[in-house]
Structure 1
């Protein structure tokens, strides 16, 4: 009980010590909206603090301040920019205990998941600190005598970032840190469910790191009020969005209207875990457990389907169901809990609807977790077919369907029978067989004998089909957050053919 009180009290203190509900142009201030943004606990929606939300006028101010600050920042030496980003990583590490506590209360993260998330945010920030000295252009030959073609890689300018609630810290920092390191300014709109861990705490970190004023603004606000305006605004040259496919498709369409913008869209998923007949079933069970139930399955990379060869199907189902029984479910303020609350009531209702649809459509329920408030225990279904909602739709909750495949060929067809293509995994003792199978999956990422949930700061991250456009992390982040500029150079203009 003492641990629970200490965790909640520390987060309450952190939230109440925030200077205001928005950070614009280097100043803490309240938003100008008539609507409020509530900081709440995921477990039951209890209010920790209420801020005035940001309005379209706040968005205007944030973008205007970004324009004023960005040009000078892009001219700052790579070493100075790298130093600021490195200090931000150090601050994240130093503040790890309070930030993990915040994630556990505000986003319903388990102790395990919150530490994974902070480590990921630190990792991409340290990786970003190397970017200023890794940006390079090229000198290319010309068909015209005496001419030199230089291609410079330059900052895009101002980047608008819209981040989600499931990994709020990391999925904000994943765009903020690289963009700033490469000479851009950033305006960040965090999800309304996680305004602190997805935005305001990041403003504190970079302010303490010595980032010049105006380069990072955070504008928490209702999507219905400022969302479209944020994307269509004439200032940003790029929008980086992580969230659902329907909203991402709208963001992409809006970004192409009026003021054409570059976009990076990391959207939904329906990740398959494929278990071939020669797989180590215990290892496959471990990988599927991690893929399905980390953070209550509220991860874009989470396993939505487990496709098992019929020769080992029954044995796998039995082993998997037996392991699910051991998962600790409850309030994530308890260090031992792995599966905690669903983020809000709407998402809770969506998960329950999918669970009910699996029952109504004829799936066999092999494990039924308890439901208590916003907490949904793991639900495991077998005899799932490809036409069932639980196989077709992104679940984003602690439920999973197991499908039976006749052989490897059918397993691959089933894996690709989806509009999504983010992450995937295949289990087999034959590594090269796994590689051949993996290359047949239409997805941005496939892992052999591992979970679908993987993210490393130096390795590209992104999907195919309706799972998004663009890639995050590593060299791909350098490409996305910069633009190319061809400068043709001649000592003097020669004759012309007319």
Structure 2
């Protein structure tokens, strides 16, 4: 990693609108804290609806000039942005650790993934393609152009705040749109204000990116139903995503939506799997970032023949995971994001114990630190298997054969990611294609997001696909244009 040779950004706690920094006009204030130490990182006035209106108008005003900028110029700005993300790597990683409770391992992964993503998107302005169609009318030429949508509204979550903001912001802007970004309040800096500083330093024109930090209860609905944005890109819970979709498609101003929502990713261990490899993957795929990942291994379905050996190896591995200061290089499990999240997880633990699930590994919480918990003999209808846990809890389910395992894997309202372990490639491919999900990985964890691969889910896990040419389709529109050399012989 290149260590920053320039002073760190001075995060003022202002909103970033039209290329300038200004105080939020809401009566509400945000206190942004470190979930591990409780230290206050930032205090700021939140955005009001008036601030939101100003941000959308700034984006609307800036968009025509931005989209008309030569593609090589836009690509050059993203190359500059990538250079800044690389140079300021340690500064970015430090914010991710302090603000989102990321362990140093996870923060490094998020920083590197963001850097790779920006580099991949830097050439996107040069990759936009249209089509020439054969016309049904004599003498006519028929074209299909890919046009920017205009203004895109982005709402990002707290768990991978930098990456999941950039995943929508970067391709949207690269393709000629302008953006208003609303980050999660828990990660206002690493999901929003830090990004604004990066775009500002990179030299993007004023209004290209605008960042408003505001309470969902005050500006959330207005953000979605506003007349300016043509698309709302939302990453977060299915419950909130449903409301976003309903407002965007059922309000006065119809608009597109890209929704990346909850997951309940199964990891399936078939009867010919290597148990040791599968057990290692299950522990890493569940407990990375305390299980606070939409693609996290949310449940493991094990063929009955492998269950005893699998339980033994999973519990042994999970017991050895270090819980503590996320800044320590060897810490695996840091704090969960906030007190409300912790209380929800503690309720699930007590419910699992009282409902007869076998407690195979447990431990007491300390502040917002929650050690790994493993539960065995979990039924397919139990809440641990049915719901997205979003924490360091791992439920183990028993399957009787391949058909039963597939049935259990699909027994969910979600369909984001999934995994299957087998020594037979043909069997793995057949099983993978039977899972109703946007992504399936054979002999690997459920957590993966590569900049050239389609990312997205099925069922209640969302709508649309991110990354590469798939994002190009989401963030642009088809525009059919015809040209006629002379007049037609119209019938009247």
Q: TM-score range by the shorter chain?
A: over 0.9
After the TM superposition, which residues 47-58 of structure 1 pair with which residues of structure 2 at under 5 Å, given as runs? Answer: 47-58=40-51
Deviation at 1:276, TM superposition (A): 0.4
Unpaired segments of 5 or more residues in structure 2?
A: none
Partner of 2:35: 42
Q: Could you tell me which of 55, 75, 79 is aligned with 1:82?
A: 75
Q: Secondary structure at the match of 2:305?
A: coil
Say if 1:16 and 1:49, in contact at 8 Å, map to a contact too.
no
Tell me if the contact between 1:159 and 1:185 (Cα under 8 Å) persists in the aligned partners: yes
**Which of the numbers 325, 344, 347 marks the counterpart of 1:353?**
347
Give the equivalent residue in structure 2 for 1:332.
Answer: 326
- CA drift at 1:470: 0.3
Q: 2:146 aligns with which of 136, 146, 153?
A: 153
Shift of 1:20: 3.7
1:287 is aligned, of 265, 278, 281, to: 281
In 1, Cα distance between equivalents of 2:7 and 2:343 = 30
Q: CA deviation at 1:21?
A: 2.1
Using the size of structure 2 for normalisation, the TM-score is 0.97
1:17 CA drift (Å): 1.8
Q: Is the 8 A contact 2:148 2:475 kept in 1?
A: yes
Map 1:415-426 → 2, pairs under 5 A: 415-426=409-420
- Shift in Å, 1:14: 8.7
Report the Cα distance in structure 2 between the residues aligned to 1:369 and 1:473, rounded to whole angstroms.
39
- TM-score when scaled to structure 1? 0.96
Matched with 1:202 is 195
Instruction: Tell me how far apart the structure 1 counterparts of residues 128 and 256 of structure 2 sit (CA, whole Å).
Output: 19
| 1:408-432 per-position Cα deviation (integer Å, ceiling 9, x unaligned) | 0000000000000000000001011
User: In the aligned structure 1, how far is the partner of 2:259 from the partner of 2:7?
Assistant: 31
State whether structure 2 residue 325 is matched by structure 1 residue 363.
no
- Give matches, 1:62-461, under 5 Å: 62-256=55-249, 257-461=251-455
Indicate if the aligned counterparts of 2:336 and 2:391 stay in contact, CA closer than 8 A: yes
How many angstroms apart in 2 are the aligned matches of 1:494 and 1:367? 78
Larger deviation, residues 361-370 vs 54-63 = 361-370
Counting matched residue pairs gives 487
Residues 73 and 16 of structure 1, relative CA distance in 2, 3 Å threshold:
closer
Task: Work out the CA distance in 1 between the residues paired with 2:394 and 2:487.
Answer: 67
Separation in structure 2 between the aligned mates of residue 218 and residue 144 of structure 1, nearest angstrom: 48
Aligned-pair distance for 1:492? Answer: 1.8
Q: Report what 1:469 is aligned to.
A: 463
Structure 2 CA distance for aligned equivalents of residues 225 and 16 of structure 1: 28
Q: Which of structure 1's runs of 4+ aligned residues deviate more than 3 A?
A: 13-16
Secondary structure, in 3 states, of the residue corresponding to 1:375? coil
Contact 1:357-1:390 within 8 A present in 2 as well: no
1:44 CA drift (Å): 4.5
User: 1:149 offset after TM fit, Å?
Assistant: 1.1
Distance 1:148 1:351 in 2: 61
Q: Alignment partner of 2:187: what SS?
A: coil
CA deviation vs aligned residue, 1:16-36 (integer Å, no higher than 9, x gap):
822342100100111111001
The equivalent residue for 2:479 is: 485
Which residue does 1:6 correspond to in 2? Answer: none
Q: Which residue of 2 aligns with 1:7?
A: none
Q: Helix, strand or coil: the match of 2:185? A: coil
Distance 1:446 1:280 in 2: 18
Give CA-to-partner distance per residue, 1:302-354, whole Å, 9 cap, x none. Answer: 11110000011111011111111111111202221111101011111111111
Contact 1:269 1:420 in 2 (8 A): yes
| Runs of 5+ consecutive residues of structure 1 not aligned to the other structure | 1-9
* Contact 1:15 1:196 survives alignment (8 Å): no
Q: Does the C-alpha gap of structure 1 residues 15 and 194 become closer, same or farther in structure 2, counting only changes over 3 Å? A: farther
Aligned residues of 1:107 and 1:166 also touching (Cα < 8 A): yes
Per-residue displacement from partner, 1:213-234 (whole Å, max 9, x unpaired)? 0110100011100000001000
Aligned partners of 1:15 and 1:48 also within 8 Å: no
